[in-house]
Amino acid sequence: MGDVCTRWNSTYYMIDSYLQLKSIVTKLFDEKYQLRIKYKQLKKLERLEITSNDWNMLLLLHETLKPFYHATRLISGSHYATIGLTYFAIHFIKKFLDNTVGDNDLVIRLKKLLSQSMKHYLDTDDDQSNLLKIHAYFDPLGYAVLSDTDKALIERDLKDMALNNSSLDLSPQQPSLINNNTSTTLPMTGATTKIPVRKPLSVLNAFMASVGQDIDVKDAANRDKNKRVTIAHDLKTYKSLVNSFNTRDSPSSSTSLLFWKNHQKQLPILIKYANKYLSVPGTSVPSESAFSLSAYLARKQRARLSPENLSYSAFLKDKMKQKR
C-alpha cells in the first residue's frame, strides 16, 4: 500500500502493512541469493533491504501515528460525530504529543513537529477555537476536557444570551408577550424596543400607557431577573448531571444524544441551545457519504428513479444504517 498525501492516514496504513508483512519481507531479503533473478535485480534488492534500524523506526512511527488513525475512525464515517466529540479527540491527541517521557530523540522531534502543525491549524484562529469550545460545552465528552476558565466564559455568554433573549427563543411554549406592530422609543434610555402587552394593567402601566409608553417596567425588570436565575439554575444542574454522567457511563460516539435524551426535561433552557449546537456535525464526512450514496442509487441502471424516491431512498438508507 502506497503513501498518498491526499488520503487520510495513508502513511499509517503503509507502515502498518509493512509491519504486518514483516516476516515475509524479512524472509525475502534473507533468501535473496537463492532467488532466480538477474544480477542487476539482486543488487537493486540489496539496496532496498530493510535493516533492523529501519524496522525499529517504522515501529516508532507506527505508534506515534496510531492516535491519529483511531481519532479519524472516531469522528469519521456516517454516524454524525458531534463537534464536541471532535474537540475531545483533539484534546487527547495534543496531550499525547506533549507527553515525551521515555521517548527517544526521533519520537520527540516527530511529536514536536506534529504538535506545531496542530496548533497552527487549530489554535491560531481565536474565533474558530472559541466556536469549537462552545460546541464542545454541550457534549458530555467535550465538557469533560474543557478547562474551568473556558467553562466559566461560555456560561457567562450563555447567561447574557438568555438575559437578552438572543440567538434562541427561550420560552416557545408561552404565548408571545411582544406586540410586533409597535415599536417605541423609551424616554429613559432613548432605545427602541418592542412593546410587551400585559393585562390587567398595573397603575404604573396605566400611567405609562397614558403618556404613549406602553411598557411594563416593573415586570420587565422581574422578567430579566427570572431569566438570569433560571439559566443559572440550568447551568448548575447541567454541571452536576454531566459530571455524574461521565463518571457512570462509558464514553461513546453517541454519548451526547444519550445524555440529552435522558436529561432534557431537567434542563429546559439549555436543551434549546444544545439542539442548536449539537445539530452541527463535526466533519463533512456524513454529507460526502450521502452524495456518494445518491450517486450509486441514481446510477444509469435506475435512470427512471424520480427525485422524490431518490431522496427518500437516501434518507432511509442513512437512518437505517444509524440504528444498526
**Does the pLDDT value for residue 175 go beyond 60?**
no
pLDDT tens digits for range 75-104: 876 567 889 989 998 999 999 999 999 899
pLDDT at 307: 86
pLDDT at 206: 53
Domain ranges in the chain are 10-125, 285-323
pTM of the model: 0.70
pLDDT tens digits for range 35-83: 888 999 999 989 999 999 999 999 999 999 999 999 888 887 656 788 9
Amino acid identity at 250: S
pLDDT at 65: 93
Contacts of 305 (CB under 8 A, 6+ apart): 297, 298, 313
The mean pLDDT value for 112-131 works out to: 91
pLDDT at 195: 37
- Specify the long-range contacts of residues 266-270, CB closer than 8 Å, at least 24 apart: 266/237, 266/241, 267/234, 267/237, 267/238, 267/241, 268/234, 269/162, 269/170, 269/230, 269/231, 269/234, 270/138, 270/158, 270/231, 270/234, 270/235, 270/238
- For cell 448531571, name the residue: 241
Q: What percent of the chain has pLDDT over 70?
A: 75
pLDDT, mean over the chain: 78
